[in-house]
């Protein structure tokens, strides 16, 4: 991905003239593909949470001189040590039963690609000032939302992709409703939620979201149908 590419979320928020003081990304992967890259380039304070030690080194080099804090841990429901599995560009908590790599690529957890890292509950990281949060940790997103101290203006959460649907989508959606958030738009893998009253989705955005929901349901149906045929 081109490091100079303007991210969709950045472009849309700029068009709406919405500004931020503290942006956060959990599960950065390569720094040049960061979902909050453009905000960091603008000089906005940023917290980057990434567990892979090799990736952390790349983040440190790439963002040298920018106002960022790197938190080199995994986020989970408990603090301590946890095992991660690495499947190409997808790194996830090994004990998860569903992740994009498992569902879409039939990846099987094995000792050769598993390593231990420190983990923290997100409330130990969140100081209450985050106003834009992006989370992509391959199936573990709920454990960030569950322990969220801040109430950001905008949250971008990985919820789907090909045959994969986030295993905690029910918990995530219930939390969003309870905390007064609504869906703004969906892309190929993420749902972007906003605090009610922040902005009103356009008619085109509403139609695109409904089409994305139909596409997700259709892919899920196809996957279930194929599985039934195989087991028949």
- Answer yes or no: is 1 within a domain: no
What was the pLDDT predicted at 52?
93
Query: Which residue(s) pair with 165 in the sheet?
Result: 160
For residues 87 and 134, the answer to whether their CB atoms sit within 8 Å is no
What was the pLDDT predicted at 135?
98
What was the pLDDT predicted at 7?
92
The CATH number of whichever domain residue 168 belongs to comes to: 3.40.50.150
- Answer yes or no: is 185 within a domain: yes
Residue 211: give the domain boundaries. 8-231
**How does pLDDT run across 71-115, given as a tens digit for each residue?**
999 999 999 999 999 987 788 999 999 999 898 888 888 888 899
- Answer yes or no: is 189 within a domain: yes
Task: Report how many domains make up the chain.
Answer: 1
- Answer yes or no: is 84 within a domain: yes
Give the residue carrying structure tokens 């986020």. Answer: 75
What was the pLDDT predicted at 96?
92
- Answer yes or no: is 3 within a domain: no
Mean of the pLDDT values across residues 1-16?
80
Kind of pairing between the strands at 132-135 and 22-26 = parallel
Please, which pLDDT band fits residue 219 given cuts at 50, 70 and 90? Answer: confident
The region of weakest confidence among 4-8, 58-62, 173-177 is 4-8
- Looking at the predicted structure, is the pLDDT value of residue 220 above 80? no
- Looking at the predicted structure, is the pLDDT value of residue 3 above 50? no
- Looking at the predicted structure, is the pLDDT value of residue 232 above 70? no
Phi, psi of 44 (to 5 degrees): -75, 140
- Answer yes or no: is 2 within a domain: no
**How does pLDDT run across 110-163, given as a tens digit for each residue?**
888 899 999 999 999 999 999 999 999 999 999 999 999 999 999 999 999 888
**How does pLDDT run across 149-161, given as a tens digit for each residue?**
999 999 999 999 8
- Answer yes or no: is 205 within a domain: yes
What was the pLDDT predicted at 225?
67
What was the pLDDT predicted at 106?
87
- Looking at the predicted structure, is the pLDDT value of residue 1 above 60? no
**How does pLDDT run across 22-58, given as a tens digit for each residue?**
999 999 989 999 999 999 999 999 999 999 999 999 9
- Answer yes or no: is 47 within a domain: yes
């Amino acid at each position: 991905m081109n490091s100079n590419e303007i991210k969709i979320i950045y472009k849309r928020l700029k068009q709406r003239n919405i500004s931020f003081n503290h942006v956060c990304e959990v599960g950065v992967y390569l720094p040049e593909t960061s979902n909050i890259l453009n905000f960091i380039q603008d000089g906005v304070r940023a917290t980057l949470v990434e567990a892979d030690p090799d990736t952390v080194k790349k983040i440190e080099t790439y963002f040298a001189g920018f106002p960022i804090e790197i938190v080199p841990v995994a986020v989970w429901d408990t603090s301590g040590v946890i095992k991660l599995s690495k499947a190409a560009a997808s790194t996830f908590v090994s004990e998860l039963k569903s992740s994009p790599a498992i569902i879409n690529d039939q990846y099987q957890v094995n000792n050769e690609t598993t390593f231990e890292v420190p983990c923290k509950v997100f409330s130990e990281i969140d100081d209450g000032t985050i106003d834009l949060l992006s989370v992509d940790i391959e199936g573990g997103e709920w454990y960030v939302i569950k322990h969220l101290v801040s109430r950001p203006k905008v949250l971008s959460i990985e919820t789907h992709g090909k045959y994969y649907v986030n295993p905690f989508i029910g918990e995530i959606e219930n939390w969003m409703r309870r905390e007064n958030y609504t869906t703004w738009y969906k892309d190929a893998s993420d749902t972007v939620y906003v605090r009610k009253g922040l902005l009103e989705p356009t008619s085109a955005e509403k139609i695109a979201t409904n089409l994305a929901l139909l596409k997700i349901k259709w892919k899920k149906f196809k996957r279930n149908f194929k599985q039934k045929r195989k087991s028949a």
